[in-house]
A and B are shown apart, each in its own frame.
Chain A
Amino acid sequence: MANIKISEQKVLQIEAICKEFNNEKGELINVLHRTQSLLGYLPAEVQEIISKNLNCSVAHVYGVVTFYSFFTMIPKGEFPISVCMGTACYVRGAEKVLDEFKRILNVPVGQTTPDGKFSLSCLRCVGACGLAPVVLVGEKVYGRVSPDGVKDIIKEYRQG
């Protein structure tokens, strides 16, 4: 078992989430959702706490975490970048935009830069197809992004 490194307060919060769902095994996905929105990610020790409280094996929890792409064991960056790969964005060149982010940040999709500033992920449709291709940085939406525009977006946050 991994040593618990997260704070006692966070442990209590995770236990409270489990309890809210009556420590039901069948509520695992809901518990994981809530926990990830609390911590931003689901590290090993968190999965162990959840497994103990829901009385299911850690292997099972890990199996669910690795199955759904929404769940992550890697902490999100200070500025999480999401590139929309929905149909409209895709046909208008989202993949080239994504490639440019990967090139400049030097991280693959799903990873965070070593300085913890940026993380890169893909998502499917934010409902702004008229602005395709769309990129989100945190809550902020950038529309009609071209590969050339990528460096400017990154610059905005590097300086800030």
Chain B
Amino acid sequence: MEMINIKIDNKELKVAPGTTILDAAKSVGINIPTLCYLHLHDFNITNKPAGCRVCVVEVQGRRNLAPACATDCYEGMVVNTHNIRVLNSRKTVLELILSDHPTDCLVCSKSGSCELQSMAQDMGIRQIEYQGEQSHYKEDTSPAIIRDVDKCIMCRRCEMMCNEVQTVGVLSAVNRGFMSVVAPAFEMNLDHSVCTYCGQCVAVCPTGALTEVDHTNQVIRALADPSKTVIVQTAPAVRVALGEEFGMEPGTSVTGKMVSALKNLGFDFVFDTDFAADLTIMEEGTELLDRITRHLKGDTSVKLPILTSCCPGWVNFFEHQFPEMNDIPSTARSPQQMFGAIAKTYFAEKLGIKRENLVVVSIMPCLAKKYECQREEFSTNGNPDVDFAVSTRELAHLIKQANIDFNILPDQDFDRPMGESTGAAVIFGTTGGVIEAAARTAYEIFTGKTLEKVDFSQLRGMEWIREATVDFDGTPIRIGIAHGLGNARKLLQDIKDGKSQYHAIEIMAAREDV
């Protein structure tokens, strides 16, 4: 390929045609600041509306400054990324954004992880020169997501996530000029829209415009109430994410310390969701086997492939977008809800207390779980099976508020009997976990043998789905795994058109790299 010669900040380099100034600069160690720009490797989708203008650079011979994220390099291009003119413009742009942004950073839930805040820090903004009208918009609180549009900087990352990646189509830029906001159709609230609560918009929001609903105060109140027995379940992902909140290396497993911390917080019993994941896997495994067996016997009414039902974002998606296909997913509850149902029946009875006096808290890595536990079918006489779902971050806040020095906590074990699990559930949390575990279960029941290894591979041109074939004594059973709701839509369309090659598919609403 013909390469292009360019010069950035006096560094000479060669880049491929079509490379943006931003990417070219990055390749030689020059990090041009960005706000609205976002590249998703997994989906090969880039958000670059060139709306924020923070990434402006000077291109020799060009009258105005160029947005580095959306300007391609050309032969002989000479770029300056940090001369006085560029720095002044960048600062002005940032001050103008800040002039229409609330300054309640001290009490903003995004404080400390806000990209706008850290950029203002990096650029040394100490006062906002511009004063004028500020835009105000109604706040929208749903079961899982809070929209505080006053903090929106119109980067439109959420819009890209919702439309291009997840194909849910809830969010769009509406109105014009100073009045423009990102909102659902007719500016309805999220809980009236077809939002799935997949949380991907929250994951990419650079500011506090989209945040998760916080339940820490409700949990503290329940723990302080002497008439309540409070139990907690923790999802597999939490034990490897919690350490980071206390300065440990990302990915450090802190299971024992986490259990200790939860006991110190006053939870009466600390259980592992893996126990309930085992139940989900057994349910889905036998359901898969039942459908396959009936299918092999020539029963044409059997719906195949079976789709997993553990991810509430995904469940919401097919309910809204493919309501005619709601007999395809598994009927099994998710592990969170399996756990809640057992806790409020079997375990409450064992303790000899009423379900109303048992408070079930779950610590989950996903904000759609907040919505899931509020679904009407997961409650009895208005009392939910799971009372509160809190995130890893909220748990870290609880621990800090209780003055617990997490790093020196001794290791403790989960409580029994619901703290045990088989190996099948360990691989549950990552995409590929549940369907593999369910297929293994089905295989063992069907053949009476243990399945050695399941090899997943990717097909060329279909990189978004991983698949494996398991030999059920001569019958090849094909299982697939996909993540992201946009990919789920493709799979559902194939099933609708009768083109699906699979017997079982696992779907997770969230992307792996957010």
B174 near A62: Cβ-Cβ < 8 Å: yes
B178 within 8 A of partner (CB): no
B176 near A60: Cβ-Cβ < 8 Å: no
A106 within 8 A of partner (CB): no
Cβ contacts B174-191/A at 8 Å (1 or 0 each) = 111000100111110000
Minimum C-beta distance from A155 to chain B (A): 35
A63 near B186: Cβ-Cβ < 8 Å: no
Among the interface residues A56, A59, A67, A69, which one has the most CB atoms of the partner chain B within 10 A?
A: A59
Minimum C-beta distance from B319 to chain A (A): 14
What is the count of residue pairs linking A and B with beta-carbon distances less than 8 angstroms? 43
Contacts of A57 in B (CB 8 A): 163, 169-170, 172, 185
Task: Scan residues 289-339 of chain B and give those whose CB is less than 8 A from a CB of chain A.
Answer: none
Contacts of B169 in A (CB 8 A): 56-60
A36 within 8 A of partner (CB): no
B176 near A67: Cβ-Cβ < 8 Å: yes
Q: Helix, strand, loop or mixed for chain A's interface?
A: helix
A69 near B185: Cβ-Cβ < 8 Å: no
The CA-CA distance from A156 to B175 in the complex, in Å, is 35
A58 near B185: Cβ-Cβ < 8 Å: yes
Q: Which positions in B face A, CB cutoff 8 Å?
A: 163, 169-176, 180, 183-187, 193
A129 within 8 A of partner (CB): no
Would you mind naming 19 contact pairs between A and B with Cβ atoms under 8 Å apart?
Answer: A47-B186, A57-B170, A57-B172, A57-B185, A58-B169, A58-B186, A59-B169, A59-B170, A59-B172, A59-B185, A60-B172, A61-B185, A62-B172, A62-B174, A62-B186, A63-B174, A67-B173, A67-B175, A69-B176
Q: Which positions in A face B, CB cutoff 8 Å?
A: 44, 47, 56-63, 66-67, 69
The CA-CA distance from A63 to B187 in the complex, in Å, is 10
Contacts of A63 in B (CB 8 A): 172-174
The CA-CA distance from A47 to B175 in the complex, in Å, is 15
A66 near B174: Cβ-Cβ < 8 Å: yes
Minimum C-beta distance from B156 to chain A (A): 11
Contacts of B170 in A (CB 8 A): 57, 59
- Pick the contact of B175: A44, A58, A60, A66 (CB < 8 A): A66
Minimum C-beta distance from B194 to chain A (A): 9
| Given A57-B163, A57-B170, A59-B171: A44 touches B186 (CB 8 Å cut-off) | yes
Contacts of B193 in A (CB 8 A): 59
The CA-CA distance from A57 to B321 in the complex, in Å, is 11
The 7 tightest CB contacts between A and B, nearest first, are: A57-B169, A59-B172, A58-B185, A63-B172, A59-B185, A62-B185, A63-B174
Contacts of B174 in A (CB 8 A): 59, 62-63, 66-67
Contacts of A58 in B (CB 8 A): 169, 185-186
Closest chain A residue to B180 by CB distance? A67
A66 near B176: Cβ-Cβ < 8 Å: yes
Contacts of A56 in B (CB 8 A): 169
